[in-house]
Amino acid sequence: MNKPVGTPIRGEEHWTNKGEDVRLYMWNKYADSSGPAGTILFVHGSSMASVPTFDLQVPGRGDSSAMDYFASRGFDTWCVDMEGYGKSTKTRDNNAPISYGADDCFAAATYIQKLRGKKPLLVYGISSGALRAALFAQRHPEMVKRLALDAHVWTGEGSPTLAERRKRLAEYRTKNRRPIDRAFVHSIFNRDHPGTADDKVVEAFADAILKYDDSVPTGTYVDMCANLPICDPEKITVPTIIMRGQWDGIASFADLTKFFEKLPNPDKQFAVMPGIAHASIQQKNYAIVFHILLSWFTQPDPVYTGH
């Protein structure tokens, strides 16, 4: 996974508005501003901001940053802090549910298209970020070229992590934010199948997360415990890949295969990632994640569709 020799990767921060009272922070990395391979929008999950997830720098870990990996291969890469996370607005009286996250994706995509041109985006979401991305694609299919849903969940059936999380649902419903700390970050990697991530990566991830947040919104937890399904697979018309880690405790295989069957676009794939639990990009087998995603984002459009 060595980077090809080429233009140095640049990083730039951007800001956009959602309505009149929300500012959303965006981070952009690219090696060629034209983004000849396409423009990617990365969408983060429930418990961390976007930069720790997608631009994590770990000395000695080649291609540790997903944004660097794809930028070095000609993509224009973007991530956005959802409302309530990282550098984005945290002052409104709400718990930032998944529907708000889909609105954040729309605001970010609108900004990117205004800046780069109205080409549909390649969109990757992980965990509740997959739900945000899926709902965004359901609402705005014209803005999405290809969709990747990693650690996605549909009805929650057969999910041991969500079954455990529901025990605290009453508590989550009483407040807009929940605390996070280093022990919590460790739990992400220990709850499904310990050993899937290197300790130094987990610690670097925790350092990066806690630099931005010591609490995060409760809305995605409430939605995933009590309000599933959030999106309708029959209304997601864009090409879609479902990516599931072998040991992911959020997304059961049976739940996802039923979701997959209902996706109407025949340009779809289901990928099981061996040796991976929930936070796929931070796992020891992250090279598999990048390979699958790169293949999906560079797949040619069909010449013949039968229509």
pLDDT digits (tens, 9 = 90+) for 153-196: 999 999 999 999 999 999 999 999 999 999 999 999 999 999 99
Q: Write down the architecture of domain 10-297 according to CATH.
A: 3-Layer(aba) Sandwich (3.40)
Residue 35 confidence (pLDDT) = 76
- Asked if 232 contacts 100 with a C-beta cutoff of 8 angstroms, the reply is no
Tell me the pLDDT band of 6, cut-offs 50, 70 and 90. Answer: low
Q: Per-residue confidence at 3, pLDDT binned at 50, 70, 90?
A: very low
Amino acid, res. 151: A
Give mean pLDDT, residues 243-256: 96
Q: What is the pLDDT of residue 10?
A: 95
Q: What is the mean pLDDT of the chain?
A: 96
pLDDT score of 214: 98
Domain ranges of the chain: 10-297
For residue 57, the model assigns a pLDDT of 97
pLDDT at 71: 96
Closest by CA to 46, choosing from 122, 160, 125, 120, is 125
Model-level pTM greater than 0.85? yes
pLDDT computed for residue 189 by the predictor: 97
Residue 12 has what pLDDT? 97
The mean pLDDT of 198-225, rounded to a whole number, is 98
Helices (H), 97-143: 98-116, 128-139
Strands 22-30 and 121-126, by their bridges, are unpaired
Q: Is residue 2 scored above 70 in pLDDT?
A: no
The predicted model gives 87-108 an average pLDDT of 98
152 closest CA partner among 38, 51, 57, 229: 229
- Supply the DSSP string of 125-137, one letter for each residue: EETHHHHHHHHHH
How far does CA 89 lie from the centroid of its chain?
A: 19
**pLDDT for position 148:** 99
Looking at per-residue confidence, does 6 or 45 come out higher?
Answer: 45
**pLDDT over 80 at 77, yes or no:** yes
* Residue 281 clears pLDDT 70, i.e. is over it: yes
pLDDT (0 to 100) of residue 127: 98
Q: What is the pLDDT of residues 283-304, one digit of tens each?
A: 999 999 999 999 999 999 999 9
How far does CA 97 lie from the centroid of its chain? 15
Residue 33 confidence (pLDDT)? 64
- Confidence label for 251 from pLDDT (cuts 50, 70 and 90): confident
Residue 307: pLDDT band by 50, 70, 90 thresholds?
confident
Does residue 1 surpass a pLDDT of 50?
Answer: no
